[in-house]
Amino acid sequence: MIDELKTLESSARSEISLSSDPKVLQDLKVKYLGRKGLFAAVSARISEVPGEQKRQAGQELNRVKQALEALFTEKESSLGEGASAPDLRTDTTMPSTVSAAGTLHPLTRVVLDITRIFERIGFTLVEGPEVETEHYNFEALNIPLDHPARDGFDTFYLDDGKLLRSQTSPVQIRVMEKTKPPLKIIAPGKVYRPDATDATHSFMFHQVEGLMVDEGVSFAHLKGVLMAFATEFFGPEAKLKFRPHFFPFTEPSAEIDVWSPTRGWLEILGGGMVHPGVLKGVKIDPEKVTGFAFGMGVERLAMLKYGVEDIRHFFDGDLRFLKQF
């Protein structure tokens, strides 16, 4: 009997494992454990077992019955999960419950776009202080006191005699004092001018300054670097126009217009060859090395890029504006 039971158990096991339909499983259950099932048939013959082996057979009968029952129960429940009808009550169109990611400020993005382009052609990102001295903001840049050249650079003064930088050019001086050529830096930052604030002007705005000083650096290189920037920022059809201009700290100097396919000529940049007096002031010999410098205003570029109509949106903290980025 024990052998029969063993055979029964193993065939039940394999049939159960192969079944995938609750109906089929139900039929199997009847086949094995039903009143007229295979198990019943074997157990009915317990009386035929010789006396001494009866106890052992009885124990084995119990064990197999429990095992079979357990197998059926387990299989029923596993089939039962998949057997229920598809849940049509879950509405997948309801809004997601993970908070939207935050945003970077549009000016941060534009500065990032600009500086990344220059970093790719070998410029290193540096920064300088916003609160500056007469020396760094004017004297070292060849803009003497009481000179009409100062007119373009009106500045805020603080009660301790310092001033708020009116351009990012002081960073050039600070870098050149600490580091000797070869130099290739890009310096973004806030600048301040005592202008009335309106839709296109702000007393506080951002500039990006570039400087390269090395042996044999020429105006042709300035053109090359700015061309690379223009085509990356405005697209492959961008063009540049250089107009002679005057900055006290560069000679020759130019205002540089960029042609964008969508907006025509834009006055965006200023630049030129670093004035030999400026180099001498930071103890760099202009006979050994030459350099170029350039600067651009960021807000204007950001307003063009994103279609912002009023510069004040950048600074009022309006989430309806900030969240769009």
Partner 1 sequence: MKLPVSWLKEYLDVTLAPDKLADILTMSGTKVEEVKGHDADAVIDLEITTNRSDCLSILGLAREISVLTGKKLRLPYKEAGALPKGKTPVIRVEDKKGCPLYTARILEGVRVGSAPEKARRFLEGAGTRAISNAVDATNYVLFEMGHPLHAFDYDKLEGGVIVVRRSRKGEKFIGIDDVEYTLEEGTLVIADASKPVAIAGVIGGKQTEITAATKNILLEAATFDPVSVRRAARRYKIATESGYRFERGVNPATVWAASQRAASLILEWGGGRQTAVNSVSTLPKTPAKKIMLRMSRLETLLGMKVSAPRAMKILTDLGFAAKLSGKDKLVVTATTARRDVAIEADLIEEILRIEGFEKIPVSIPASRYASGQKFDRRPEKVLELKKFLAAQGLNEAMTYSLLSAKMLEDSGFSIEKGRGVHRVVNPVSAEQEYFRPSLLPGLLGAVLFNVHRKASSVKLFESGNCYLEGREATALGLVLYGAYSENWQRKDKAGFYDAKGLAGNALHFLGVPFREEEKDYLQSPFAFGTRLVSPDGERLGDVASLHPRVLAKWDIPHDVFFVEIDLDAVFGAASPARSLKVVPVPKYPSVRRDIAFVVADSVRVRTLEEAMKKAVPGTLRDVQLFDQFTGKNIPQGKRSLAFSLSYQKEDGTFTEDQISALQKRIGDALKEGFGVEFRA
Residues 248-307 that bind partner 1 (CB under 8 A): 251-255, 273, 275-277, 290
Q: Per CB under 8 A, which of residues 120..159 are in contact with partner 1?
A: 121-122, 124-127, 129-131, 146-149, 151-152, 156-159
Among 31, 54, 65, 245, binds partner 1 (CB under 8 A): 245
Q: Is 118 in the site for partner 1 (CB under 8 A)?
A: no
Q: Per CB under 8 A, which of residues 180..219 are in contact with partner 1?
A: 180-182, 184-185, 188, 190, 192, 194-197, 203-204, 212, 214, 216-219
Of residues 49 and 315, the one with the C-beta less far from partner 1: 315
Q: Per CB under 8 A, which of residues 7..36 are in contact with partner 1?
A: none
- Contacts with partner 1 by CB under 8 A: the residue count is 87
* Closest-CA residue to 174 (of 275, 278, 270): 278
Of residues 86 and 95, the one with the C-beta less far from partner 1: 95
Q: Is 168 in the site for partner 1 (CB under 8 A)?
A: no
Q: Is 112 in the site for partner 1 (CB under 8 A)?
A: yes
Cα-Cα-Cα-Cα dihedral of 285, 287, 290, 295, to 10°?
60
Q: Is 44 in the site for partner 1 (CB under 8 A)?
A: no
- Number of C-beta neighbours around residue 238 at 10 A: 18
Q: Is 265 in a helix, a strand, or coil?
A: strand
Of residues 54 and 223, the one with the C-beta less far from partner 1: 223
Of residues 102 and 307, the one with the C-beta less far from partner 1: 102
CA 110 – CA 297 distance, rounded (Å): 11
CA 307 – CA 312 distance, rounded (Å): 13
Give every CB contact of residue 290 below 8 A, 6+ residues apart in sequence: 213, 214, 215, 216, 217, 218, 273, 274
CA 38 – CA 27 distance, rounded (Å): 12
